[in-house]
Structure 1
Amino acid sequence: MIQRRNFLALAAFGAVAGISGCGTDAGDVNVRLASGEAGGLYHAFARLLAAVAEQAGDVRIEPVTTSGSQENLARLAAGEVDAALTLSDSVGERDRVLALGRVYENYLQLAVRADSPIHRVADLRGARVNLGAAGSGAAVTGERLLWAAGLDPAVDVSIAHRPLRDAVAALDSEEIDALLWAGGVPTSALEVPRRMRLVDLGELAVPMRERFGYLYDRVEIPADAYPGGRAVHTVGVANLLLAAPSLPDEAAAAIVDLLVSYADALVPAEAAGTQFLDARSLIGTGSVPLHPGAAAVYRRRHG
């Protein structure tokens, strides 16, 4: 059952003091944050984070609209942004990035028309499927989902990569048969259950873990997530808030302090059903090491 856990347990340890280092004033640092598509959870979360940063005055955050995880990583590598949101399974061994935190869980949502004969991923054989926008994390995770269901993405399905709103229009006009979206629930662009239905993906969580690693969880989208919709199981993937190694320690620390101290203000409407991770999970960034500024904050708060 999806449960949004409260970050604020961390806040009980008190506000963090400034991190010593190169002497940069975090309030003077403008952090360009690569987010995602308009209408998605990344996009909304980045803007809320920018708003609380402006209120706190400790760091400035400039959200940058993108197509999603893969583009975000590319921009981070090119020095075009200072921080980025990404699905954990989009981060490769060659990506030179540091983590500020594991912030919440994303939900794979495979939407079909309400009257579609597609009820399992295996039913997509021969179908036209939109696997997220080009440059999105769903493009990576979607192919893995197909492989786990016994389908070869290059042979068994016809794949498109349109932005969410274009994909919804294409599904409505029957140009495609299904679309995959990785995001929070409810996602307002998905007209569930009036015009669309979510396919249950729960049976593929274990095969995905066995084939591609520990990053995938079986989670539930409850019946009340989309009013009138039925409960379905799906695959959850953790989201990471990343930073370039060049981000000053003070700025990294200030952002982590925002995550902790303003947790309730960082829940977009698109995340009403999203599982926000608790204090222990916030530092669980897997193989991606924590930024020194972030690690110092967690060390002060956790002891």
Structure 2
Amino acid sequence: MIRADTPTTTRRSLLAAGGGALAALVTACRGQSGPVTRLRIATGAVGGPYNAFGQALAQAAGTGGQRLEVVPLATAASVDNLRKLDAGSAELALTMADAAEDAVLGREMFPRPVAVTALARVYVNYTHVVVPARGPVRTLAQLAGRPVAAGASGSGAQVVAERLLRAAGLTGARAVRARQLEAAESAAALRDGEVDALIWSGGVPTPLLADLARELPLRFLALDGHVAGLRAVYGPVYCAVTIPAGAYGLREPVGTIGVSNYLTARADVPDHAVRELLAVVFDRRRVLLAEVTAGARLEPRFAISTGSVPLHPGAAAYYRSVFG
């Protein structure tokens, strides 16, 4: 039995939302199927995994006969996406679970709670701290005072990087020299010797890093020793996971920190649109997660586990109707 904790949307809440998903209803029709619901999905940087997921979802929705038009928006990712949901400039968003919980609870980068709802827990991000294999850095502590690419401003990678560095005691006099760079910029900076490490959170393998590993021998730092400290502060949103041997040419597995990814929505997205969207997601899950091996867990029991982020009523109805 799946329980939706989201309160029923009221007329007052719809008016207060400033249009939101109501403005997404367009008059175009696909044959005799009725009006099409246009949903903008905040993804991530072009070339990144969120953007690729959004593009694939848009294509799947457009060819599946649903009354949906999904429009991907390139963004800085998680935090930026949640702000767009709050502002009504997107109806859907991909986000890391830690940023989503911050938004719901109104903490850290969110001065007040954001009315975000979950449609599905999609897959697990693996935290990568990557250094040149031939360099001197073998532990996180050895990054003290060094230049580090620590995620783009407004990204989930930045959230994880800041928390991880604090947990490792890399603050004050021991702080790294953090540079806020997108994934492609981070990889280029590491390759060119402009930074001594990059911090990234994504699926395994992340194609960008797999490409970099073919140019530059890489070392992936073990991070699993910091999971307990992060969980003590932020709860079970963080977990221990392992980058498997073979990924990125690794000879041995590397323990690291896992953070789930959620597909989220504004509460005022119509229930029927959510049900149709989730039908596409589950029908095309292999295509949507084609580039994710480790951490790919898009199945019902996993999908409904969204922590402090309540399921959208339409999502709860979908899971009940399809999976009981």
Fold conserved between structures, TM > 0.5 = yes
- 8 Å CA contact 1:106, 1:274 repeated in 2: yes
Cα–Cα, structure 1 residues 171 and 252, in superposed 2: closer, same or farther, change >3 Å?
same
From 68, 71, 78, the equivalent of 2:80 is 71
Q: How does 1:202-217 map to 2 (within 5 A)?
A: 202-217=224-239
From 78, 88, 95, the equivalent of 1:86 is 95
Cα–Cα, structure 1 residues 26 and 186, in superposed 2: closer, same or farther, change >3 Å?
farther
* Deviation of the 1:27 alpha carbon: 5.9
Is 1:254 equivalent to 2:279 in the alignment? no
Equivalents in 2 of 1:228, 1:213: separation in Å? 30
Is 1:132 equivalent to 2:141 in the alignment? no
Is 1:109 equivalent to 2:128 in the alignment? yes
Equivalents in 2 of 1:233, 1:83: separation in Å? 32
Q: Which moved more, 1:150-159 or 1:47-56?
A: 150-159
Unaligned segments of structure 2, at least 5 residues: 1-21, 26-32, 106-112
Equivalents in 2 of 1:134, 1:154: separation in Å? 23
Aligned to 2:70, the other structure's residue is in SS state: strand
Equivalents in 2 of 1:239, 1:226: separation in Å? 22
- 8 Å CA contact 1:192, 1:198 repeated in 2: no
* Deviation of the 1:78 alpha carbon: 1.0
- Identical columns (%): 39
**What residue is the counterpart of 1:183 in the other structure?**
202
Is 1:274 equivalent to 2:295 in the alignment? yes
Aligned to 1:63, the other structure's residue is in SS state: strand
- 8 Å CA contact 1:106, 1:183 repeated in 2: yes
TM-score normalised over the length of structure 1: 0.87
Unaligned segments of structure 1, at least 5 residues: 1-21
- Over residues 162-183 of structure 1, what are the superposed CA-to-partner deviations in whole Å (9 max), with x where a residue is unaligned? 1111111211222211111111
Aligned to 1:204, the other structure's residue is in SS state: helix
Aligned to 2:319, the other structure's residue is in SS state: helix
From 39, 48, 54, the equivalent of 2:62 is 54
* Deviation of the 1:61 alpha carbon: 0.7
**What residue is the counterpart of 2:181 in the other structure?**
162
Q: Which moved more, 1:194-203 or 1:122-131?
A: 194-203
**What residue is the counterpart of 2:110 in the other structure?**
none
Equivalents in 2 of 1:118, 1:90: separation in Å? 29
**What residue is the counterpart of 2:264 in the other structure?**
242
Cα–Cα, structure 1 residues 95 and 153, in superposed 2: closer, same or farther, change >3 Å?
farther
**What residue is the counterpart of 1:298 in the other structure?**
319
- 8 Å CA contact 1:48, 1:268 repeated in 2: no
- 8 Å CA contact 1:146, 1:153 repeated in 2: no
Aligned to 1:57, the other structure's residue is in SS state: coil
- 8 Å CA contact 1:129, 1:180 repeated in 2: yes
Cα–Cα, structure 1 residues 40 and 292, in superposed 2: closer, same or farther, change >3 Å?
same
Aligned to 2:76, the other structure's residue is in SS state: coil
Instruction: Give the RMSD, CA atoms, in angstroms.
Output: 2.0
* Residue type at the aligned position of 1:118: V
- 8 Å CA contact 1:111, 1:197 repeated in 2: yes
- 8 Å CA contact 2:91, 2:266 repeated in 1: yes
RCO greater where, 1 or 2, for CA within 8 Å and sep 6 or more?
Answer: 1
* Residue type at the aligned position of 1:147: R
From 19, 38, 41, the equivalent of 2:49 is 41
* Deviation of the 1:49 alpha carbon: 1.1
- Over residues 98-137 of structure 1, what are the superposed CA-to-partner deviations in whole Å (9 max), with x where a residue is unaligned? 1111111011111111212212211111111111111100
- Over residues 57-84 of structure 1, what are the superposed CA-to-partner deviations in whole Å (9 max), with x where a residue is unaligned? 2121111111110110111111111100
* Deviation of the 1:277 alpha carbon: 3.9
Runs (4+) of structure 1 exceeding 3 A deviation are 24-27, 227-230
Equivalents in 2 of 1:152, 1:228: separation in Å? 30
Is 1:118 equivalent to 2:126 in the alignment? no
- 8 Å CA contact 2:77, 2:156 repeated in 1: yes
- Over residues 173-211 of structure 1, what are the superposed CA-to-partner deviations in whole Å (9 max), with x where a residue is unaligned? 222111111111222222226512211112112221122
Q: Which moved more, 1:293-302 or 1:80-89?
A: 293-302
Aligned to 2:261, the other structure's residue is in SS state: strand
